[in-house]
Amino acid sequence: MSDSETAEYDVIIVGAGFAGVHQLLKIRKLGLTAKILETGEDLSGTWLWNKYPGARVDSPMPIYQFSDPAIWQDWSFTEYYPDWREIQAYFRYVDHKFNVKQDVSFSSRVISAHWNDSVDRWTVTTEDGRVFRGQFLSLCTGIASKYHIPEFKGIASFKGEVHHTARWPEEYDFKGKRVGVIGTGSTGVQVIQEIAPIVSHLTVFQRTPNLALPMKQRKISVEEQDKLKKELYPIFYGRRNQTFSGFLHDLDPKPMAETTLEERTLAFEDRWDKGGFHFWLGSYSELFLVQKYNDEAYAFWRRKVRERIPDPELQEKLAPMQAPHPFGVKRPSLEQRYFEVYSQSNVTLVNISKTPIEQITRNGLQTNDGTEHVLDVLVFATGFDMVTGGITSIDIRGQDGVSIKEKWADGVRSYLGVASATYPNMFWIYGPQSPSSFSNGPSSIELTSEWIIDCIKFIKENNISSIVPTEEAQHAYSEHVNQLGSIGLWAGAKTSWYLGNNIQGKKTQMLQFPGGIPAYAKLCNDSAARGYDGFDLKRSSA
Ligand code: NA7
């Protein structure tokens, strides 16, 4: 294609991670054309960027994969919770198998997507000025594509190196360095436990302790995987659609009032021993609803964690007597040796909820008690404009010419967490008001992706040129998500990306569908079964 030509496709996909690749492979099967536009220079989405030391997925590998047997049959991971290198290798394998890359344009950051009502097409423009046209726009931008560095005074004056974890220089050598890490979210926990043993000194600036859970990482042999594949993988992939969060374990609906303290303690022990998210998304559902039961889970967590920290002062900083927020309403990380590293003589934990960061100085970081922490490297593990950032950073304009960023300035609105009124033939996967990160990624990604594929097929077969949610359906769905988010303890975290309040000025609202995968799937499938109830369908004039 020359620069002046516009390339035409049935579907323009933005992003080449799990969602984008799944869309592409399914669209090919429909006999339609698609192009993935990807900012990076390779496949794998978030794993292309998040390659800081220790970066790994918090979902176990048997279910953190595409469910297609043609893919999993010939692939094996080496660890139960794979790291970014293995996930990148997995995407290379998928590419090798299906020649994914032939339909991907890399180094192609999409800056705008404008809908033209007269031809029912999207015009999509990349940063370098190329133009693509598609009947459908599929936003597979992920939940963590716009990284966030808070504004601290003096940052430009720092003479050392500054890195955000999502833009990590792959071969950076920490040995012998004095490193400061701001942030103890999922990323902070992983990077801290990884680099603590090798740096000369590590200073961690913690605002809120992470109520992290034991990962129970282990090696997994090819033989063990082959056995699982034969006997269990098909069951696993069916099960992913039946549990609240797309894991193999599920929330326990048993009313806690009908259990004894002994029974609950044994259940907590069992879930703790299993590792991963069992203690969180495999526990009693009432934990998320009733403070006194949540307190019980927190007390159990605190006891387990304190056993690993000899120093009482450190115990109080990392696992305080008073819970910083209800357990589980903020994303816990999975850790391996996180709580032990703080007992190392080369690690200092600074509680910046008590002594906030005053400024970044030429030599390091100064807290408001006047202490200057001298550093060679400052690492921002400060997260992302989560869930919405990947979409709102594109200038997307629909039927009324208003950008989605403006539309969502006072809160996200969608229908079924997959589409938005006035933006016809536009869908997103693993984004706002879908189960997204309340779930194992590939579980909800494949669910939504399949739904979109069925919808596109329906449109193509029924002489329809466009589909767009009605304002009424969107209002009702968004209110439903807001209402679900207001039940129970979800609002109990002061700063949580689940609620958008990790970013200053962002509207506080539940950004994900908190009702679980089966309930979400039912809403989506019911609409489809009723001929896409809640959408306006425009008949093709041809
Ligand atoms: P998170 O979970 O948003 O964590 C960001 C961390 O940075 C968290 O500890 C924040 O403290 C801290 N933070 C953010 N802004 C500041 C300021 N201004 N001052 C001090 N500390 C700050 O991001 P992650 O990258 O760890 O994880 C994001 C998700 O990606 C993860 O959950 C996975 O689903 C994948 P706070 O807790 O707000 O007090």
Mean pLDDT by 10 residues, the chain (542 residues): 72 98 98 98 98 97 98 98 98 98 98 97 98 98 97 96 94 92 98 97 98 98 97 96 97 97 97 98 97 98 98 98 98 98 98 98 98 98 98 98 98 98 98 94 98 98 97 98 96 95 95 97 98 96 68
Rounded distance from Cα 187 to ligand 1 centre (Å):
8
Residue 371 lies in a domain: yes
- The gap from C-alpha 483 to its chain's centroid, in whole angstroms, comes to 22
Rounded distance from Cα 185 to ligand 1 centre (Å):
4
Do residue 355 and residue 208 come from a single domain?
Answer: yes
Describe the crossing of helices 441-461 and 517-529 by its angle, rounded to 10 degrees.
0
Rounded distance from Cα 381 to ligand 1 centre (Å):
6
pTM over 0.95: yes
Q: How many angstroms separate the CA atoms of 480 and 523, rounded?
A: 11
Residue 154 lies in a domain: no
pLDDT at 540: 86
Rounded distance from Cα 114 to ligand 1 centre (Å):
33
Answer whether 250's CB lies under 8 Å from 443's CB.
Answer: no
* Atom 23, ligand 1: residue with shortest CA distance: 383
Q: How many angstroms separate the CA atoms of 497 and 503, rounded?
A: 8
| Among 356, 380, 404, residue at a domain's last position | 380
Burial of 218 (C-beta count, 10 Å sphere; 0-12/13-18/19+): exposed
Which range of residues forms the domain containing residue 396?
3-146+385-439+466-531
Give the contacts of 516 (CB within 8 A, at least 6 positions apart): 243, 244, 245, 251, 435, 438
Residue 156 lies in a domain: no
Residue 460 lies in a domain: no
* Atom 37, ligand 1: residue with shortest CA distance: 208
Rounded distance from Cα 139 to ligand 1 centre (Å):
24
Do residue 399 and residue 429 come from a single domain?
Answer: yes
Partners of residue 126 on adjacent β-strands: 110
Question: For a pocket test of ligand 1, which of 81, 207, 325, 388 has the largest count of ligand atoms closer than 8 A to its C-beta?
Answer: 207
* Atom 12, ligand 1: residue with shortest CA distance: 183
Rounded distance from Cα 75 to ligand 1 centre (Å):
33
Q: Which of 211, 223, 176 is nearest to 195 (CA)?
A: 176
Alpha helix ranges (H) inside 470-538: 471-486, 517-529
- Return the sign of the alpha-carbon dihedral for residues 154, 157, 160, 165: positive
Rounded distance from Cα 60 to ligand 1 centre (Å):
22
Q: How many CA atoms lie within 13 A of 534 on its CB side?
A: 22
pLDDT at 471: 98
Answer whether 417's CB lies under 8 Å from 457's CB.
Answer: no
Answer whether 144's CB lies under 8 Å from 47's CB.
Answer: no
Do residue 423 and residue 514 come from a single domain?
Answer: yes
Do residue 211 and residue 118 come from a single domain?
Answer: no
Do residue 54 and residue 200 come from a single domain?
Answer: no
- Return the sign of the alpha-carbon dihedral for residues 363, 503, 45, 437: positive
Rounded distance from Cα 529 to ligand 1 centre (Å):
40
Do residue 225 and residue 308 come from a single domain?
Answer: yes
Q: How many CA atoms lie within 13 A of 105 on its CB side?
A: 21
Residue 10 lies in a domain: yes
Do residue 219 and residue 329 come from a single domain?
Answer: yes
Q: How many angstroms separate the CA atoms of 247 and 269, rounded?
A: 19
Question: For a pocket test of ligand 1, which of 277, 440, 502, 506 has the largest count of ligand atoms closer than 8 A to its C-beta?
Answer: 502
Residue 174 lies in a domain: no
Q: How many angstroms separate the CA atoms of 535 and 459, rounded?
A: 12
Do residue 296 and residue 363 come from a single domain?
Answer: yes
The number of folded domains in the chain is 2
Q: Beta 161-164 vs 377-380: how paired, if at all? A: parallel
pLDDT at 5: 63
Residue 112 lies in a domain: yes
| Among 380, 407, 430, residue at a domain's last position | 380
**Ligand 1 within 6 A of 392 CB?**
no
Strand order across the beta sheet in which 364-367 lies: 357-360, 364-367, 372-374
Q: Could you tell me where the beta strands, DSSP code E, fall in 207-308?
A: 213-214
Do residue 366 and residue 396 come from a single domain?
Answer: no
Q: Which of 427, 468, 475, 435 is nearest to 451 (CA)?
A: 427
DSSP 256: G
Maximum distance among all Cα pairs of the chain, rounded to whole angstroms = 75
Length of the chain, in residues: 542
Do residue 319 and residue 428 come from a single domain?
Answer: no
Question: For a pocket test of ligand 1, which of 186, 281, 384 has the largest count of ligand atoms closer than 8 A to its C-beta?
Answer: 186
* Atom 30, ligand 1: residue with shortest CA distance: 144
Partners of residue 163 on adjacent β-strands: 379
Residue 95: which CATH number?
A: 3.50.50.60
Answer whether 134's CB lies under 8 Å from 465's CB.
Answer: no
Rounded distance from Cα 493 to ligand 1 centre (Å):
12
Do residue 93 and residue 187 come from a single domain?
Answer: no
| Among 337, 362, 380, residue at a domain's last position | 380
Residue 31 lies in a domain: yes
Q: Which of 122, 166, 125 is nearest to 143 (CA)?
A: 166
Do residue 116 and residue 254 come from a single domain?
Answer: no
Q: Beta 131-139 vs 6-14: how paired, if at all? A: parallel
pLDDT at 542: 60
Question: For a pocket test of ligand 1, which of 331, 357, 360 has the largest count of ligand atoms closer than 8 A to its C-beta?
Answer: 331
